[in-house]
């Protein structure tokens, strides 16, 4: 959608009126002179509106064109003694505004040289330039240089302040992003803590009845008549389903149990490599290739290698399961702001945007048979290391899981 044109500002209206007045007050009543004055006014007003003038090349060409029109206007209006001689200041001011000290000096010299060429039009046989007129001519040239330098000094102050404001705006934007991430991490931690307590209580309450059901099923299986195959089969089903429930309860307890990160210096690439080996069999079955792009700049740093292997294994396993047969996964590491950043990049099915904010919550899953505890536990481990997890995903295009760990120990064992 095209942007709406900017309405004229008060100073632009005043400047337009000034150029119109200059054309009306032209002492020679020359239509060409008036036309050139109006053209220069249009160019001056358009200078801040044309996109082509956002580039240095465009500005240089534009300023040269203004200088050429001013030169013609002075030539038409009595050359050296033209009442429009100050018009050469327009291109010099533009250069001082946009092109810095060197651009200002270059166009000041060019403007002085252009004005000085009118000396060639003087009939020196009948004209004598006395010392008084020589000084006036010299003053006119110095006014050109002085105006350019003064405007450049003011413009440099504006450019410096603008650069400072831009830097501050970028810092504020970055700080706002970090604050948003911290708030999201805090909310996630609070949800995890509450759900962890609930899961722990529920798991403990389920353990006893499940044990009783399994013991009863085993007793039934031993005491039922050999010829009663249906009863034996049902007892076997009960036992296997109880085992499955016990496994699920164990995962609940893993999620609810306080994690204590035992930090020791470890090599991140070795930890990732061990996780890749753990998922390699499943990757081969799906004909998926895992590429490694490790940064050599990451030194060993404190982490719980066993817990982090679990993190990378879970994320890699999810990537494999989300990828189509024959696809590839890339594991990339780099240093970023005092953090060791690992990205697991897949080209799989992606994640629904509605689930992006909740995938680290317990019991949220995109798998038909999943219970949604894997990423919740992973997030909990990363939090205990003082790190953070982010995910970017587009449905049908793949996902990028980013795991950032501090190079200095910041573990939280709560």
Specify the CATH number for 261-414; select among 3.30.565.10, 3.30.365.10, 3.30.460.10, 3.90.1150.10.
3.30.565.10
What local confidence, expressed as pLDDT, does residue 217 receive?
A: 77
Average pLDDT, the chain: 82
Q: How far apart are CA 278 and CA 308, in angstroms?
A: 13
Rounded to 5 degrees, φ, ψ at 381 are -65, -45
Which of 238, 308, 227, 317 has the alpha carbon at shortest distance from 266?
308
Per-residue buried b or exposed e for 349-388, using 16+ beta carbons within 10 Å of the residue's own CB:
bbbeeeeeeebbbbebbeeeeeebbbbbbbbbbbbbbbbb
Tell which wins on pLDDT, 171 or 240: 171
The pLDDT value given to residue 199: 63
Q: Find the helix packing angle between 100-116 and 89-98, rounded to 10°.
A: 170
Closest-CA residue to 296 (of 253, 339, 240, 334):
334
User: What average pLDDT does range 204-233 have in this prediction?
Assistant: 74
How sure is the predictor about 228, in pLDDT bands with cuts at 50, 70 and 90? confident
Q: Which of 50-59, 235-244, 296-305, 384-393 has the highest mean pLDDT?
A: 296-305
The DSSP annotation for 215-274 comes to HHHHHHHHHS-TT-HHHHHHHHHHHHHHHHHHHHHHHHHHHHSPP----EEE-HHHHHHH
User: d(Cα 94, Cα 299) in Å, to the nearest integer?
Assistant: 52
Residue 410 — very low, low, confident or very high, per pLDDT cuts 50/70/90?
low
Judged against a pLDDT cut of 50, whether residue 377 lies above it is answered with yes
pLDDT at 189: 66
Helix pair 229-256, 374-384: axis angle to 10 deg: 30
Locus of tokens 């109006």: 38
pLDDT confidence bin for 2, thresholds 50/70/90: very low
Residue 242: predicted pLDDT: 78
Kindly tell me if the per-residue pLDDT of 332 is higher than 60: yes
pLDDT in tens, 146-204: 988 898 888 888 888 888 998 898 889 888 888 887 787 677 667 666 666 666 666 66
Q: Which two tokens stand for residue 134?
A: 């020589």
Integer-rounded Cα Rg, in Å, for the chain is 39
Q: By percentage, how much of the chain surpasses pLDDT 70? A: 85
Q: Rounded distance, CA 114 to CA 127, Å?
A: 21
The residue ranges of every structural domain in the chain are: 10-128, 261-414
pLDDT at 11: 79
Among 303, 308, 300, 254, residue whose Cα is nearest residue 276 = 308
Yes or no: say if 106 and 59 are a contact pair by the CB < 8 Å rule.
no
Binned at pLDDT 50, 70 and 90, residue 260 comes out as confident
């Amino acid at each position: 959608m095209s942007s709406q044109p900017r309405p004229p500002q008060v100073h632009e209206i005043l400047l337009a009126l000034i150029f119109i007045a200059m054309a009306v007050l032209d002492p020679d009543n020359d239509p060409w002179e008036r036309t050139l004055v109006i053209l220069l006014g249009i160019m001056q007003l358009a200078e801040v509106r044309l996109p082509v003038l956002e580039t240095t090349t465009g500005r240089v060409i534009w300023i040269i064109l203004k200088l050429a029109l001013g030169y013609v206007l002075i030539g038409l209006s009595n050359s050296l003694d033209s009442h429009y001689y100050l018009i050469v200041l327009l291109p010099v001011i533009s250069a001082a505004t946009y092109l810095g000290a060197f651009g200002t000096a270059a166009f000041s010299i060019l403007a002085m040289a252009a004005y000085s060429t009118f000396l060639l039009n003087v009939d020196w046989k009948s004209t004598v330039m006395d010392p008084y007129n020589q000084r006036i001519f010299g003053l006119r040239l110095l006014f050109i240089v002085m105006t350019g330098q003064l405007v450049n000094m003011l413009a440099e102050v504006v450019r410096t302040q603008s650069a400072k404001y831009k830097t501050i705006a970028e810092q504020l934007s970055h700080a706002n992003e970090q604050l948003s991430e911290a708030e999201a991490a805090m909310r996630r931690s609070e949800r995890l803590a509450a759900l962890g307590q609930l899961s722990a209580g529920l798991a403990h309450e389920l353990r006893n009845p499940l044990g009783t059901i399994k013991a009863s099923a085993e007793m039934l299986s031993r005491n039922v008549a050999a010829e009663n195959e249906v009863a034996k089969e049902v007892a076997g089903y009960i036992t296997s389903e109880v085992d499955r429930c016990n496994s699920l309860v164990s995962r609940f307890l893993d999620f609810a149990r306080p994690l204590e990160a035992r930090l020791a210096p470890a090599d991140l690439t070795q930890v990732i490599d061990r996780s890749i080996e753990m998922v390699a069999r499943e990757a081969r079955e799906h004909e998926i290739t895992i590429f490694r792009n490790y940064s050599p700049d990451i030194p060993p740093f404190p982490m719980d290698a066993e817990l982090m292997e679990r993190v990378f294994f879970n994320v890699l396993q999810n990537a494999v399961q989300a990828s189509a047969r024959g696809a590839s996964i890339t594991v990339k590491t780099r240093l970023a702001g005092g953090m060791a950043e690992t990205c697991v990049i897949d080209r799989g099915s992606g994640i629904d945007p509605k689930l992006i904010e909740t995938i680290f919550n317990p019991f949220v899953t995109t798998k038909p048979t999943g219970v949604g505890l894997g990423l919740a536990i992973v997030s909990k481990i990363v939090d205990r290391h003082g790190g953070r997890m982010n995910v970017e995903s587009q449905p049908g295009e793949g996902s990028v899981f980013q795991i950032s760990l501090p190079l200095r120990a910041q573990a939280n064992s709560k």
